[in-house]
Amino acid sequence: MTPTDPLPRGNGPLFLDCDPDAARDAFAEKSKQLQSKVMTVPEAVRQFVNDGDYLAAGGFGGDRIATALLHEIVRQQKQGLGLAGHTATHDFQILCAGNQTGRGQLLSRVDAAYIVGLEARGLSPHARRVVESGEVQLCEWTNYTLALRFQAAAMGLPYLPARSMLGTDTFQQSAAQTVICPFTGKKLAAIPALWPDVAVIHVHEADCYGNCRIRGTSVTDYHLARAAKKLIISCERLIDTEEIRRDPTATMIPFYCVDAVCEVPYGSFPANMPYEYFSDETHLCEWLTTERDPVQYKKYLHHYIFDVADFHEYLLRCGGLPRLQELRRQELFPAD
């Protein structure tokens, strides 16, 4: 490469502005008051998730997915959402349920690092249909660089430099650009910041103000919570603020990042909730099997999402407390 040659840049679309000053203006309007934010899942989704928003979902792979909130987004038939598909498995599968004939188009654009596959369980037939249909615009990243986008946003920077992706097909399909390091003269990938309009994160414990505790793998959620312009938290348990104050170092997400808190026991089912309950592999297999037939799949979605009043009724249809207690036993006593 000569000094006059253009620096390589990815050909993928950049779905959101990465101007930190524009993001700062949005955060300046966010309330910092210490007030109760407890509400129901339908109320939170209705108030904070709008058609056309760019959505990010917390958790990692099959762990700590905000299933209850994702179900409600599909149930309310939100339209034209963007998505950060960072290690997305069953969460992406759920949202793809909103893209079907007669139900509109829930997803319109996706920053994809890992989607369609449910890890060792196999590929989601319906998610694959949605992606292959061409109705969803895709931009590709690696898991690391998509996580780096949240970190840049949390730091208030327009981008972060990385050595990842350079010289790969993924770089070509991304929206990254190449920059020259002013100290070494070496080429680096410039990974643009990502400020989602709204994020949904499921945590172990939260108080009424939104101070949250996460046990086990947190991956990008520390940065995602600080990057999202609106944040809905679902939690296994609401705990007293005095308990939060007794061990402040356990607080992963502070109250001023949070807009809504929803108490949803077993709210990550059928995903794994570390130290709480194991994933329901039978139910996940049922999803994958039923998706093979689009007609049966629509009936399946009515049974489990559209024709239930709330997440509690969904859990009852999945076996109720006996099944949930068995999954808790599997998580806590795996050798039994």
pLDDT digits (tens, 9 = 90+) for 242-266: 999 999 999 999 999 999 999 999 9
pLDDT digits 0-9 by tens, 152-174: 999 999 999 999 999 999 999 99
CB 221 within 8 A of CB 251: no
Indicate the domain borders of the chain.
20-307
* Cβ count within 10 A of residue 283: 16
Report CA-CA distances (Å) from 54 to 16, 29, 123, 159: 8, 18, 24, 18
Q: Which CATH superfamily is domain 20-307 in?
A: Glutaconate Coenzyme A-transferase (3.40.1080.10)
Residue 102 CA to residue 94 CA, distance in Å, equals 17
Note down pLDDT in tens along the chain; length 336 residues: 445 558 999 999 999 999 999 999 999 989 888 999 999 999 999 999 999 999 999 998 889 999 999 999 999 999 999 999 888 899 999 999 999 756 679 999 999 998 888 878 889 999 999 999 999 999 999 999 999 999 999 999 999 999 999 999 999 999 999 999 999 999 999 999 999 999 999 999 999 999 999 999 899 999 999 999 999 999 999 999 999 999 999 999 999 999 999 999 999 999 999 999 999 999 999 999 999 999 999 999 999 999 999 999 999 999 999 999 999 999 999 876
